[in-house]
Amino acid sequence: MKGDVHDSICAFLLTAGTLGKREQDIYRRFEHVPRETVLVELEALWAEGMVQRFTLGPKLTMWRATDKMNE
């Protein structure tokens, strides 16, 4: 299951392009997956440099894929 979540999140963020996706939209898209699992996966991708995280306020965090994810 972990590989499926990883691959699905990667595909979802890649299709979002340079604008990325709001964190809440990611949670909504993967509502069948525990929120903690999604967040752990996003943080792991961020640590690997495969996604960027932008905190635009206390309630708005954006995530987008980097070129490294396409490699």
pLDDT at 35 over 90: yes
Going from the C-alpha of 10 to that of each of 1, 43, 51, 54, 57, the distances in angstroms are 14, 12, 9, 17, 24
Q: Which of 20, 31, 7, 35 is nearest to 66 (CA)?
A: 20
Q: CA 30 to CA 9: how far, in whole Å?
A: 8
Whether residue 1 has pLDDT greater than 70:
no
Output the pTM of the full model.
Answer: 0.88
Q: Which domains does the chain have, with CATH numbers?
A: 2-70 (1.10.10.10)
40-51 tens-digit pLDDT: 999 999 999 999
